[in-house]
């Protein structure tokens, strides 16, 4: 392990923390959401800015990100405040009229998720998460604004339990300059660098980035447009030949986000320029030219910028045993695909439960290798998509087919629902018996269908039961429980489960301070709900607690008599009612393992290599 001989300022005596998150943008806030679930460890999150993003920056929240936010219970305000992305309109240049004309209007709804993309200012999204993190709850993690990481020192292996030493300076309104009280030393067990495209963490460790393309420069504007353009409340890709191209997205409060790549007679080129060299009126003037024959003016501008960015991917997501890079610190790209905030949050959604499991002693550090194995291919794919999309927007053509083709090709990646992790220590891949559930893909997040609560008769999305609290879920599909053979198969399964070396411990092991075992067993049966008595099922599906009685929340019926949407889960997952199956979901809802009800030993072996080892 290298020691970085960085000059240490006169820092106060060090405080320690298990996890230090540097940067409270979308990636850092998502990491904090996970960390707040683990009450038996300490977490700090710092940001050099005095407060959250105020205006501008990213604004597209894709389906998978919404599912993730739902798993923490914070999706509702985002949907309420945001604008649904319902249609995508493609406009091209008509040389006969010298103006733009609509070529196509497509539904932007996805059938892969219960959420469609929502458009909302990044600052409001950050605020909603900050409100959640600030709730009076155990494990609460508060963002420390106005604190800038300034120095990094790495202690030798074994020298200290907290080997990452970060010098932090107070900045902005809250901090004076240079006095001892304004600086602090934080010693951390692990650090996540979520510090954006110009990552300080990355720079300290001198991690190179692979440059996939040079910077291109776009104008980006959030205005309340005054226009007769008919699709102004839709998302549009507009190509006006040599006048340039525009991408629009409707936003909250009658705002519209415009991205413009102006070309043409050279009167406005933003290429290589920064904000001081171009005025807002110049950009809107160029946008008005692209929009012809429609008019475009504005009175209110919320935010505007010149956005210069190239496609880059960091050489390693884990530059040091104890330090990880996530979000824009690991990859940068254009904003065309509406991916920045999403892939960034999904990076830390993937990483942080693993880190917390290791810190709390629930899992061996070996699982941390899966972060790079799983997220680097996503970063690579992101840059491929972005390269194609940027080319399609910038090409000299009057039609929008390029954009349409790229969006069509990458739609599952863009929504985040198609992301599938390859075989590794946490994803069984080829070893699993996938024939038991033909439509469930190992490595992909489990898709969701409505089921009915056995105890309360309330219909709900199955995956809504898989909240992000650090628990693994074993979903047991036993087949029709009116069949005696299915009943005895379920009873055998439960007996075998209780005899394994790891499974019963995981099932009973309540995390300290929380009523949540590491592994929850959940049943989904396709029998009429009224034909099953919950307490007749094996005890692992309704464990008893001296104080709280039985747990009634683990049994669901796939029963079609509760409305048209219900009763299709078995069919949609491709599970045969005669045989049933077991589906193991990781804490991040990705399917880790599949098997039949008789495969209990194999299930136990899955956990063997990594559970409960420091
Ligand atoms: C000016 C700008 C405009 C953008 N416009 C768009 C857009 O139009 N559309 C789009 O999709 N995306 C846009 N993005 C990108 C989008 O905002 C990011 O993809 C997304 O925010 C990534 O999240 P993140 O958490 O990885 O990084 P960021 O959101 O960049 O957060 C990083 C955080 O780290 C903090 N930080 C940095 N260094 C330190 C340090 N030494 N100590 C403590 N804290 C530190 C920063 O203050 C910041 O809050 C824009 C980004 C910027 C900066």
- We report the CATH number of the domain holding residue 357 as 3.50.50.60
583/438 same-domain check? yes
- Are residue 126 and residue 231 in the same domain, yes or no? no
Question: Are residues 346 and 239 part of one domain?
Answer: no
According to the model, what pLDDT value does residue 251 have? Answer: 94
C-beta neighbour count of 90 within 10 angstroms: 20
For the chain, what is the domain count? 3
Domain hosting 375: range is 15-82+120-209+311-386
Can you list the alpha helix ranges (DSSP code H) found in 134-249? 200-204
What pLDDT, on the 0 to 100 scale, is given for residue 4? 41
- Domain end position, chosen among 307, 328, 356: 307
Whether 281 and 296 have beta carbons less than 8 Å apart is answered as no
Give residue 324 CA to ligand 1 midpoint distance, Å. Answer: 17
Residues 485 and 601 in one domain: yes
Q: Which whole-number Å values give the CA distances from 453 to 358, 523, 534, 576, in the listed order?
A: 33, 10, 10, 21
Paired sense of beta strands 591-595 and 581-585, if any: antiparallel
- 162 and 220 in a single domain? The answer is no
Q: Check if 123 has its Cβ closer than 6 Å to any atom of ligand 1.
A: no
| Separation in Å, CA 327 to CA 46, 192, 193, 521, 587 | 16, 10, 9, 33, 20
Query: Do the domain assignments include residue 113?
Result: no
Would you state the pLDDT for residue 180?
Answer: 47
pLDDT for 168 equals 96
202 and 221, same structural domain?
A: no
Per the domain annotation, does 400 fall within a domain? no
Pocket mutation for ligand 1, best pick of 55, 195, 337 (most atoms within 8 Å of C-beta): 195
Burial of 76 (0-12, 13-18, 19+ CB in 10 A): exposed
Domain-embedded: residue 45: yes
**Cβ-contact 183, 168 below 8 angstroms:** yes
* Closest atom, ligand 1, to C-alpha of 53: 49
pLDDT at site 2: 38
Question: What span, in angstroms and rounded, lies between the C-alpha atoms of 478 and 577?
Answer: 8
Of 284, 307, 330, which residue constitutes the final position of a domain?
A: 307
Q: Do 24 and 155 have their domain in common?
A: yes
List the residue whose alpha carbon is closest to atom 19 of ligand 1: 340
Residue 371 lies inside a defined structural domain of this protein: yes
CATH number at 251 reads 3.30.9.10
DSSP state of 523: E
Which of 353, 386, 419 is at the close of a domain? 386
Looking at ligand 1, which atom is closest to the CA of residue 60? 11
Clarify whether residues 253 and 365 are in a common domain: no
Residue 1 lies in a domain: no
351 and 494 belong to one structural domain = no
The residue ranges of the chain whose pLDDT is under 50 are: 1-9, 175-180, 265-267, 512-514, 613-614
Q: Which of 20, 25, 45, 204 to probe ligand 1 with, by most ligand atoms within 8 A of CB?
A: 25
Residue 341 alpha carbon, nearest atom of ligand 1: 20
CA-derived radius of gyration, the chain:
26
Q: Whose CA is nearest to atom 51 of ligand 1?
A: 57
- Does residue 162 lie in a domain region? yes
Residues 24, 48 within the same domain? yes
Residue 91 lies in a domain: no
| Residue 20 and residue 130 in one domain | yes
For the whole model, what pTM was predicted? Answer: 0.93
Cα(531) to ligand 1 centroid in Å equals 54
Look up the CATH number of the domain holding residue 500: 3.40.30.20
- Residue 419 belongs to some domain of the structure: no
In contact, 236 and 294? CB cutoff 8 Å:
no
Distance 328 CA to ligand 1 centre (A): 7
Sheet of 519-525, strands arranged across: 459-461, 450-453, 555-557, 519-525, 472-477, 581-585, 591-595
Positive or negative: CA dihedral 297, 302, 305, 307: negative
Residue 278 CA to ligand 1 center (angstroms) comes to 22
Ligand 1 atom, smallest distance to 47 CA:
44
Please give the Cα distance from 66 to 415 (Å, whole number). 10
Pick from 9, 21, 23, 47 the residue to mutate for probing ligand 1's pocket: most ligand atoms within 8 Å of its CB: 23
Integer Cα distance of 159 and 250 in angstroms: 54
Same domain assignment for residues 361 and 454: no
């Amino acid at each position: 392990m290298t020691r970085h001989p960085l000059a240490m300022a006169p820092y106060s005596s060090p405080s320690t923390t298990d996890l230090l998150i540097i940067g409270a943008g979308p990636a850092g806030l998502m990491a904090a959401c996970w960390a707040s679930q683990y009450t038996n460890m300490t977490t700090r999150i710092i940001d050099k800015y005095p407060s959250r993003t105020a205006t501008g920056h990213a604004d597209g929240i894709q389906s998978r990100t919404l599912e993730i936010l739902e798993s923490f219970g914070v999706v509702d305000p985002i949907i309420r405040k945001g604008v649904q992305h319902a249609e995508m309109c493609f406009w091209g240049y008509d040389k006969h009229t010298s103006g733009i004309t609509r070529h196509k209007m497509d539904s932007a709804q996805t059938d892969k998720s219960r959420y469609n993309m929502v458009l909302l200012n990044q600052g409001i999204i950050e605020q909603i998460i900050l409100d959640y993190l600030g709730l009076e709850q155990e494990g609460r993690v508060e963002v420390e604004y106005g604190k800038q990481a300034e120095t990094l020192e790495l202690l030798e292996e074994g020298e200290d339990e907290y080997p990452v030493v970060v010098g932090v300076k107070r900045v902005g309104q809250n901090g004076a300059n240079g006095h001892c009280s304004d600086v602090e030393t934080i010693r951390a067990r692990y650090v996540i660098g979520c510090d954006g495209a110009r990552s300080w963490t990355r720079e300290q460790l001198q991690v190179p980035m692979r440059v996939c393309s040079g910077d291109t420069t776009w104008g980006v504007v959030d205005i309340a447009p005054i226009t007769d353009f008919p699709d102004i409340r839709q998302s549009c890709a507009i190509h006006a030949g040599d006048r340039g191209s525009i991408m629009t997205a409707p936003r909250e409060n009658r705002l519209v986000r415009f991205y413009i790549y102006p070309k043409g007679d050279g009167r406005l080129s933003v290429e290589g320029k920064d904000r001081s060299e171009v005025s807002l009126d110049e950009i809107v003037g160029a946008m008005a030219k692209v929009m012809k024959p429609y008019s475009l003016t504005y009175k209110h501008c919320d935010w505007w910028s010149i956005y210069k960015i190239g496609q880059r991917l960091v050489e390693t997501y884990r530059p040091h045993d104890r330090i990880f890079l996530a979000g824009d610190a690991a990859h940068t790209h254009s904003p065309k695909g509406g991916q920045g905030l999403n892939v960034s949050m999904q990076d830390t959604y993937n990483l942080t439960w693993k880190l917390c499991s290791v810190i709390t002693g629930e899992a061996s550090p070996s699982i941390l290798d899966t972060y790079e194995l799983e997220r680097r291919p996503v970063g690579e794919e992101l840059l491929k998509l972005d390269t194609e999309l940027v080319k399609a927007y910038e090409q000299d053509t009057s039609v929008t087919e390029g954009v349409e083709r790229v969006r069509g090709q990458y739609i599952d990646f863009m929504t985040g629902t198609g992301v599938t992790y390859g075989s590794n220590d946490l994803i069984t891949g080829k070893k699993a018996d996938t024939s038991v559930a033909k439509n469930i893909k190992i490595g992909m997040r489990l898709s969701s269908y409505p089921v009915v609560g056995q105890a309360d008769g309330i219909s709900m999305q199955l995956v809504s039961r898989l909240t992000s609290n650090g628990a693994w879920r074993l979903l047991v599909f036993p087949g029709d429980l009116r069949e005696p053979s299915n009943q005895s198969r379920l009873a055998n399964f439960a007996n075998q489960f209780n005899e394994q070396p790891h499974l019963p411990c995981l099932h009973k092991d309540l995390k300290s301070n929380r009523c949540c075992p590491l592994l929850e067993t959940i049943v989904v049966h396709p029998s009429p709900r009224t034909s099953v008595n919950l307490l007749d099922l094996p005890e692992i599906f309704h464990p008893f607690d001296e104080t709280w009685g039985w747990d009634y929340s683990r049994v669901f019926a796939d029963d079609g008599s509760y409305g048209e949407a219900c009763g299709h889960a078995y069919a949609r997952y491709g599970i045969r009612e005669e045989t049933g199956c077991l589906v193991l979901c990781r804490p991040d809802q990705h399917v880790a393992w599949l098997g039949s009800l008789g495969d209990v030993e194999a299930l136990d072996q899955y956990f063997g290599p990594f559970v409960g080892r420091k």
